[in-house]
């Protein structure tokens, strides 16, 4: 599929004004294709006598195309481009009729049949350039238009769209005319949905899911709708522009590639957010944040849309910041920034230290393929962190004033970084243009290191700064409690601008100095020697979970940067995690300790001892929660106890009994976790997997079975899994991912050794055949990350040099290989080998 370049988009935007789309979709044409009829009304500007341009469409069959009543030859379709030649200035009408393919990869019009009850559902995911898989379009964000949509569906289906929909006949539906929106924001979701509807502030609200998930959605409907209403009200307190669409539907859809998509009036979410098994409060908080994030997009992205994809931060960074901040302000989940610090910020730090890093706001993104790669930890986590720092520096009042000026100036239109900075500048006398240059146009992570000098009564703090950005931070000074050396008390929290003009007096020497306390800036921090000793002795004694998150992140960074042995991190976790109360911190530390330290940073010879340490830690947490007062903490401990099991006896007994002694009882999610680990350890077989699938025949059961089968330490099982991933194109995006997650296991390195060199050529081939979504999955989940050795690194580097992988796969491979090289360096340091 030809990608659209920035230059092509700018040329087309100068030539055309697009006014109106009429789209008719017929979803009753069979299992493979649907019919798409599109009428586009547009104007060619008075610039030349005639103009040539093109419209994008990628059909199974282009049946007819007519321009101003004159037929176009379907044979002139070149890949995904239909040429429109000799256009004269003035108004024109293009009509296109085509058969379009359903997708099984979450792109375009995805089709899914629920194995639980046989019901079928379809939904669109048209971001970033997948519009052409559904209807003909001038597919770029700055050619906004009004859309009228009609759909023909099976009679038992309900059709959802950007606006209110009405049934106009048996199986025929019409959606309300949209305001002016971009092509990629058009949305349809059709099927026998289970719906819960209400009204708020005069607008219809709805939540929707598959029928088989109805009991689970109903159980959480009050929580979901309460969060939706609370965020909606909070945004109306922040923003002077009212919600710009006629309804607000949230559809939880199957096999969705992203967390959610901000289609105006019809937000689509991955339906794992309809919880079918026990979850922690942190998982509920994440769901609430995603709801708030997507609602923020109604203003940041939908009302005011980027002009081109170099400004994706105007969408994602703002929605990320607003999602966390508004969830904390408007819902019961008041500690969202701790979760951000643990789960999201590390994502940004990691991405920003790889060779594929890019500015939050790049100067230019050359084409749509390049743009798609930038939806990463930089555009989300780093961008949100930059905005949090901007609010700290600017003040929330001026920040919101600038935002509201931006909405007023550009509503239902498009805007750039320069437009936004001009809006902010109108609200403050600070030099926001200089701030944007230093924060948004640069790459990399600054590092802040404390130096404490002077005599005990006249100590002074100096922050050494490696990097280019100014930071406004808080510095927490902590003393050890005289009655309990394991407890730390906050003496003072200093506001500090870095770079400093002079050292800051701090009085007597603190036991611990924490830079960036409160996590208001984006920088790696380090500790002086005395603070390091205090952390090892009393980290769990810090009173604020957000401060503990800053410290744990710093320890994580130090491991990755070869400044702290991985085994020391495990020792600190073993000492302090049994006393931790914040669920996000417990889960984040255990996940890093297991998936990075035990699985990658330590050698195979060191790994058993690490798993024993983690198993003992989880056992302590399970014992601590026997009173039943901490179900979320207990659930996390049980999950990680399963993941770190080196011997099958205990978890096999849990599976046989259907419960962990003292709870919880095993729901489907826990049963599949245990069975997967038993498969890895060679303690189960195909008969047991088939029996479990009969017990849970749902789509998540199908994924669990695929995961287990690929994890079996059996040559035939590995061969079948490999063939399913790379030799056929039958697996959906989710089943491909489940299979990939099961295939490589550190315990099975010898068994799968011969597949490592095969991976690169076959991943390149499957990515080329199946497109960006599978390319991403092949690079993210099917990569042999367990093989931390020079041969794997060499093979990967040769692939990048010689094989010309699809851009989506190239980016993932480059990131994976950088992480692999880092793991090799950490191993050398931790073991003293070279």
Is the preceding omega at residue 314 within 30 degrees of 0, hence cis?
no
Burial class of 657 by CB neighbour count within 10 A (0 to 12, 13 to 18, 19+): exposed
Max CA pair span of the chain: 89
Torsion angle (degrees, nearest 10) of CA 724, 726, 731, 736: 100
Report the C-alpha gap between 15 and 11 in whole angstroms: 6
Q: Checking DSSP bridges between strand 504-507 and strand 304-306, what pairing results, if any?
A: unpaired
CA atoms of 825 and 572, how far apart (whole Å): 21
Choice among 56, 97, 294, 669 that is catalytic: 294
Nearest to 158 by CA among 188, 187, 190: 190
| 10 contact partners, CB below 8 Å, separation of at least 6 | 308
197: its two tokens: 């509807």
Q: How far, in whole angstroms, is CA 501 from its chain's centroid? A: 39
Containing 515, the helix (H) or strand (E) segment is: strand 512-515
Report CA-CA distances (Å) from 116 to 42, 156, 693, 700: 46, 18, 11, 10
CA–CA gap between residue 370 and residue 5 (Å, rounded): 9
As given in the structure block, the two tokens for residue 373 are 């790669």
- Note if 294 is an active site residue: yes
CB 770 within 8 A of CB 729: yes
How distant, in Å, are the alpha carbons of 31, 177, 199, 374 from that of 248? 30, 15, 9, 28
CB neighbourhood size of 401 (10 A): 18
Which residues partner with 36 through β-bridges?
A: 25, 98
* Segments in 646-754 forming alpha helices (H): 649-657, 668-680, 686-695, 699-711, 715-722, 733-743
CA atoms of 717 and 704, how far apart (whole Å): 15
d(Cα 314, Cα 386) in Å, to the nearest integer?
12
Stated as kind and residue range, the H or E segment containing 434 is: helix 432-440
Task: Write the DSSP string, 90-127.
Answer: EEEEEEEEEEEE-BSSSSEEEEEE-TTT--EEEEEE-T
- Residue 16, both tokens: 């055309």
Question: Which tokens belong to 616?
Answer: 């003992």
For residues 638 and 664, the answer to whether their CB atoms sit within 8 Å is: yes
Contacts of 163 (CB under 8 A, 6+ apart): 175, 176, 177, 178, 245, 246, 247, 265
DSSP letter (8 states) at residue 456: G
Helix (H, G, I), strand (E, B) or coil at 777: helix
DSSP secondary structure, 604-635, as one string: TTTHHHHHHHHHHHHHHHHHHTTTSS-HHHHH
Please name the residue that has the structure tokens 């005395």: 530
- Determine contact, residues 406/420, Cβ cutoff 8 Å: yes
Q: Please say whether the beta carbons of 383 and 357 come within 8 A.
A: no
Using the CB atoms, write b or e for 148-170: b if 16+ within 10 Å: bbbbbbeeebbbbbbbbbeeeee
Calculated CA dihedral for residues 56, 57, 63, 67, nearest 10 degrees: -20
Task: Determine the Cα–Cα distance for residues 13 and 44; give it in Å rounded to an integer.
Answer: 10
Query: What is the DSSP secondary-structure string of 442-476?
Result: --S--EEEEEEES-GGGEEEEEEEESS--EEEEEE
Residues assigned a catalytic role: 294
């Amino acid at each position: 599929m030809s990608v659209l370049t920035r230059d092509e988009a700018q040329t087309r935007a100068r030539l055309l004004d697009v006014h109106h789309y009429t789209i008719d979709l017929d979803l009753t044409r069979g299992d493979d294709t649907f019919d798409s009829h599109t009428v586009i009304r547009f104007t060619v500007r008075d610039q030349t006598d005639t103009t040539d341009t093109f419209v994008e469409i990628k059909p199974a069959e282009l049946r007819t195309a007519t321009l101003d009543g004159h037929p176009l030859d379907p044979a002139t379709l070149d890949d995904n481009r239909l040429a429109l030649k000799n256009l004269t200035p003035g108004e024109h009408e293009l009509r296109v009729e085509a058969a379009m393919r359903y997708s099984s990869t979450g792109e375009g019009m995805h089709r899914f049949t629920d194995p639980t009850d046989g019901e079928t559902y379809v939904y669109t995911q048209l971001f970033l350039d997948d519009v052409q898989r559904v209807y003909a379009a001038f597919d770029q964000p700055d050619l906004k238009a009004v859309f009228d949509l009609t759909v023909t569906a099976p009679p038992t289906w309900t059709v959802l769209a950007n606006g209110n929909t009405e049934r106009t006949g048996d199986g025929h539906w019409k959606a309300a005319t949209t305001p002016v929106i971009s092509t990629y924001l058009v949305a349809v979701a059709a099927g026998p949905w289970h719906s819960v509807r209400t009204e708020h502030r005069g607008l219809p609200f709805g939540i929707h899911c598959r029928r088989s998930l109805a009991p689970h959605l109903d159980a959480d409907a009050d929580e979901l709708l309460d969060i939706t209403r609370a965020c909606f009200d909070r945004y109306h307190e922040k923003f002077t522009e009212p919600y710009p669409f006629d309804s607000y539907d949230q559809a939880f859809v199957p096999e969705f590639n992203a967390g959610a998509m901000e289609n105006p009036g019809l937000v689509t979410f991955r339906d794992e957010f309809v919880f079918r098994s026990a979850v922690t409060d942190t998982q509920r908080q994440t769901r609430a944040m995603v709801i708030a994030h997507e609602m923020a997009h109604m203003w940041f992205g939908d009302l005011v849309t980027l002009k081109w994809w170099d400004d994706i931060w105007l969408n994602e960074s703002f929605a990320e910041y607003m999602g966390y901040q508004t969830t904390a302000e408007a819902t019961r989940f008041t500690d969202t920034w701790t979760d951000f610090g643990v789960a999201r910020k590390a994502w940004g730090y990691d991405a920003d230290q790889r060779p594929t890093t890019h500015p939050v706001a790049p100067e230019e993104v050359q084409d749509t393929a390049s743009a798609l790669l930038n939806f990463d930890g930089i555009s989300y986590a780093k961008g949100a962190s930059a905005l949090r720092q901007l609010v700290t520096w600017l003040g929330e009042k001026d920040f919101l004033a600038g935002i509201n000026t931006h909405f007023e100036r550009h509503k239902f239109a498009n805007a750039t970084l320069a437009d936004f900075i001009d809006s902010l500048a109108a609200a403050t006398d600070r030099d926001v243009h200089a701030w944007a240059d230093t924060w948004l146009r640069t790459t990399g992570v600054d590092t802040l290191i404390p130096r404490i000098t002077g005599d005990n009564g006249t100590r002074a703090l100096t922050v050494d700064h490696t990097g280019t950005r100014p930071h406004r931070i808080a510095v927490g000074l902590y003393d050890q409690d005289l009655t309990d050396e394991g407890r730390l008390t906050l003496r003072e929290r200093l506001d500090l601008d870095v770079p400093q003009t002079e050292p800051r007096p701090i009085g007597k020497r603190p036991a611990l100095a924490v830079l960036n306390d409160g996590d208001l800036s984006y920088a790696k921090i380090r500790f002086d020697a005395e603070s390091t000793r205090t952390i090892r002795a009393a980290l769990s004694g810090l009173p604020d979970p957000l401060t503990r998150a800053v410290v744990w992140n710093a320890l994580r960074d130090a491991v990755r940067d070869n400044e702290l042995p991985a085994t020391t991190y495990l020792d600190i976790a073993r000492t302090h995690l049994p006393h931790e109360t914040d669920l996000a911190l417990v889960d984040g530390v255990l996940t890093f300790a297991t998936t990075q330290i035990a699985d990658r940073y330590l050698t195979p010879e060191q790994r058993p001892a690490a798993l024993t340490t983690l198993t003992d830690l989880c056992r302590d947490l399970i014992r601590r929660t026997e009173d039943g007062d901490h179900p979320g903490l207990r659930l996390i401990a049980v999950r990680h106890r399963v993941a770190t099991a080196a011997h099958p006896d205990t978890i096999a007994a849990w599976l046989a009994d259907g419960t962990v002694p003292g709870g919880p009882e095993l729901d489907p999610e826990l049963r599949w976790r245990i069975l997967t680990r038993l498969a890895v350890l060679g303690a189960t077989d195909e008969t047991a997997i088939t029996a479990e699938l009969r017990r849970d025949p749902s789509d998540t059961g199908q994924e669990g079975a695929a995961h287990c089968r690929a994890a079996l330490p059996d040559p035939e099982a590995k061969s079948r899994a490999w063939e399913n991933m790379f030799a056929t194109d039958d697996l959906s995006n989710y089943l491909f991912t489940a299979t990939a997650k099961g295939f490589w296991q550190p315990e099975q390195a010898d068994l799968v050794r011969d597949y490592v060199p095969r991976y690169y050529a076959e991943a390149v081939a499957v990515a080329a055949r199946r497109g960006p979504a599978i390319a991403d999955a092949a690079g993210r989940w099917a990569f042999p990350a367990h093989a931390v050795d020079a041969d794997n690194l060499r093979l990967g580097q040769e692939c990048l040099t010689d094989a010309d992988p699809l851009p989506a796969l190239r980016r993932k491979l480059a990131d994976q290989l950088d992480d692999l090289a880092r793991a090799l360096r950490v191993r050398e340091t931790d073991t003293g080998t070279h």
